[in-house]
Amino acid sequence: MAEEKVERRTDFGPPHYEQFLPPVIKSNYGKWDFHEILKPGVMVHVSESGDKLYTVRAASGRMVSIDKIRIYCDLADKYCDGYLRFTSRHNIEFLLTKEENVDPLIADLAELGHPVGGVGNAISSIVHTQGWIHCHSAATDASGIVKCVMDDLIEYFEGTKLPGKIRIALACCLNMCGAVHCSDIAILGIHRRPPRIEHDRLNKMCEIPNVVASCPTAAIRPAEVEGNPSVEVLEERCMFCANCYTVCPSMPLNDPLNDGVSIWVGGKVSNARHEPMFSKLAIPFIPNNPPRWPEVTQAVRGIVELWAANANKYERIGEWIERIGWPKFFKMAGIEFQKEHIDDFKHAGLTYKRSTHLTF
């Protein structure tokens, strides 16, 4: 059987982006003058030359089948000469030059079940991780919670009635493939049970010194257990980071009884107004309750609507809370302040309130 002869190349890198740019972008590259949001999910960018580019942004589920991608392609062919892009938040954007094609495209997307929105003072798609679909260390599912939260908040994706921007992100464990730690609202999967050590195979699977060194609180020590070289964990020192599990498969932390999610608020990455901020702990633990996680969707909606009702125009959640103070936030949100809210890792003292600037 004659084998197909193809030269095997490596390190040739990605294709150059230029070949995928629509002509209106090629000819106006670096010459855009201003943009306007025409309606939810639709922007027009106007060039110095007067050329206009209409962008229609639609929700996409991050997990997309090739069958769906082919439908996207058909829509792009029908309305915008085959040109489309994706955003850093998993949205899909169609790039149109004909304004008259905007509404028919939106109608087709609606029929396909892909809402248009997420531009301006709206909730854009949730950046998230793999969860139970593809990850070994997930403390919760990712796509499922995202689906439920966005179903619940769809009016804020399709509308622009919020005071400012809000970015929600979800990571299914502390590894945070999605880097959720600077989001207005972060949904973070957490483990709460120390690793179950598989003593009979740990020494075959893992390098014990690496396992010991992986623990940030020095909770892991070498030990001989039932004749096997292994490790022991000082459980009171375990803060469930799962770094040991990352370096050693024989230390799993996944546990249906104790895994769940925590909710963090007030982070941002944009430099607009306030400097970038980390998200801070609001709700320490909500049990996993698939398939619809009602406690999580309710908690997220509660925070979004509290902020929307009380923030000044443009104020992100973190800016709003900084103005009113955290005690007031906890009171208004009806969240009980607990020991878990107080930092006890490195530099924790910097998070204590060090003034008498208090409201009552």
Partner 1 sequence: MADNIPKTPLLDELEKGKWPSFVTEIKMAAEKNPMAADLLGQLEQSYREKIGHWKHGGIVGVMGYGGGVIGRYSDLPKEYPNISHFHTMRINHPAGWYYTSDILRKICDIWEKHGSRLTNMHGSTGDIILLGTRTEELEPTFSDLQKIDFDIGGSGSDLRTPSCCCGMSRCEWACYDTMALTYDLTMHYQDELHRPAFPYKFKFKMSGCPNDCVASIARADMSIIGTWRDSIQINQDAVREYADRGLDIKADVIANCPGKCIDWDGKELHIDNSFCKRCMHCINVMPKALKPGKDRGATILIGSKAPIIEGAFLSSVFLPFIKIEPPYTQIKDMVDKIWDVWCEEGKNRERVGEFIQRVGLGNFLDAIEMEPVAEMVAHPRENPYVFYEEYFEEDDGEEEEESE
Residues 239-278 that bind partner 1 (CB under 8 A): 241, 243, 245-247, 249, 252, 254-256, 259, 267, 269-274, 276, 278
Looking up tokens 């973190």 gives: 318
**204 near partner 1 (CB under 8 A):** no
CA 67, 72, 74, 78: dihedral to nearest 10 degrees? 170
| Contacting residue, 97, 108, 177, 285, with partner 1 by CB under 8 A | 177
**191 near partner 1 (CB under 8 A):** no
Angle at 182 between CA 180 and CA 183, to 5 degrees: 70
Angle at 8 between CA 6 and CA 11, to 5 degrees: 145
Counting residues that bind partner 1 (by CB under 8 A) gives: 119
Residues 38-67 that bind partner 1 (CB under 8 A): 45, 53, 55, 59-67
| Contacting residue, 105, 174, 190, 281, with partner 1 by CB under 8 A | 174
Phi, psi of 356 (to 5 degrees): -100, 20
Stretch that binds partner 1, among 12-20, 223-231, 301-309, 351-359 (CB under 8 A): 12-20
Q: How far is the C-alpha of 138 from the C-alpha of 254, rounded, in Å?
A: 7
**25 near partner 1 (CB under 8 A):** yes
Q: In the stretch 299-338, what mask flags binding to partner 1 with x, by CB under 8 A?
A: --------------xx------------------------
Least Å from the CB of residue 54 to partner 1: 11
Q: How far is the C-alpha of 63 from the C-alpha of 131, rounded, in Å?
A: 12
Q: Is 100 helix (H, G, I), strand (E, B) or coil?
A: helix
Nearer of residues 135 and 306 to partner 1, judged by Cβ: 135
Is the separation of the CB atoms in 257 and 289 below 8 Å?
Answer: no
